Chains A and B, each alone.
Chain A
Amino acid sequence: MRSDTQIFEGGFSDSVLNAQTVFRALMDAMANPGRIVEVSDLAAPPAPLTSLAASIAATLFDHDATVWCDRAISGSAACTGWLKFHTGLELTGEPADADFALISDVATMPSLESFCRGTSEYPDRSTTLILQIDGFDGADTLVLEGPGIKDSMAFSPSHLPRMFVDQWVANRAAFPRGVDLIFAGKGVLAALPRTTRIKKTEA
Chain B
Amino acid sequence: MTDLATYNFAYLDEQTKRMIRRAILKAIAIPGYQVPFASREMPMPYGWGTGGVQVTAAVLGPDDTLKVIDQGADDTTNAVSIRAFFQKVANVRVTTKTADATIIQTRHRIPEAQLQAGQILVYQVPIPEPLRFLEPRETETRKMHALEEYGLMHVKLYEDIARHGHIATTYAYPVKVEGRYVMDPSPTPKFDNPKMHMSPALQLFGAGREKRIYAVPPYTEVVSLDFEDHPFEIQTFSQPCALCGAKGSYLDEVILDDKGGSMFVCSDTDFCEDRQAKGHRGALAADTAEAAE
Give the interface of A toward B (CB within 8 A). Answer: 15-17, 19-21, 23-24, 26-27, 30-32, 59-62, 64-65, 99, 119-124, 126, 128, 147-150, 175-176, 180, 193-195
Give the chain B neighbours of A175 by CB distance below 8 A: 180
| Interface presence of B254 (CB below 8 A) | no
| Interface presence of B19 (CB below 8 A) | yes
Tell me which of A15, A150, A194 contacts B14 (CB under 8 A): A15
Tell me which of A26, A119, A121, A148 contacts B220 (CB under 8 A): A148
Give the chain B neighbours of A176 by CB distance below 8 A: 30, 33, 180-181
Q: How many B residues touch A, CB cutoff 8 Å?
A: 43
Question: 1/0 per position for B5-38, CB-CB distance to A under 8 A?
Answer: 0001100001101110111111111110101100
Give the chain A neighbours of B128 by CB distance below 8 A: none
Give the chain A neighbours of B202 by CB distance below 8 A: 27, 31
Q: Do B14 and A180 have beta carbons less than 8 Å apart?
A: no
Q: Do B9 and A62 have beta carbons less than 8 Å apart?
A: no
Q: Do B14 and A128 have beta carbons less than 8 Å apart?
A: no
Q: Do B22 and A60 have beta carbons less than 8 Å apart?
A: yes
Q: Do B143 and A121 have beta carbons less than 8 Å apart?
A: yes
CA distance A194 to B25 in the complex (A): 11
Give the chain A neighbours of B18 by CB distance below 8 A: 19, 59-62, 64
Give the interface of B toward A (CB within 8 A). Answer: 8-9, 14-15, 17-19, 21-31, 33, 35-36, 58-62, 142-143, 145-147, 178, 180-181, 200, 202, 215-221
Q: Do B218 and A31 have beta carbons less than 8 Å apart?
A: yes
CA distance A62 to B146 in the complex (A): 29
Task: Quote the shortest CB–CB distance from A60 to chain B (angstroms).
Answer: 6
15 A-B interface contacts by CB (under 8 A): A17-B61, A19-B17, A23-B17, A30-B29, A30-B217, A31-B218, A62-B15, A64-B19, A65-B22, A121-B143, A148-B28, A150-B218, A175-B180, A180-B25, A194-B29
- New contact pairs (7) apart from A16-B9, A17-B61, CB-CB < 8 Å: A19-B14, A20-B60, A23-B58, A32-B217, A60-B22, A122-B36, A176-B180
Q: Do A148 and B143 have beta carbons less than 8 Å apart?
A: no
Q: Do A148 and B26 have beta carbons less than 8 Å apart?
A: no
Q: Do A20 and B23 have beta carbons less than 8 Å apart?
A: no
Task: Quote the shortest CB–CB distance from B177 to chain A (angstroms).
Answer: 8
Task: Quote the shortest CB–CB distance from B140 to chain A (angstroms).
Answer: 11
Give the chain A neighbours of B218 by CB distance below 8 A: 31-32, 147-148, 150
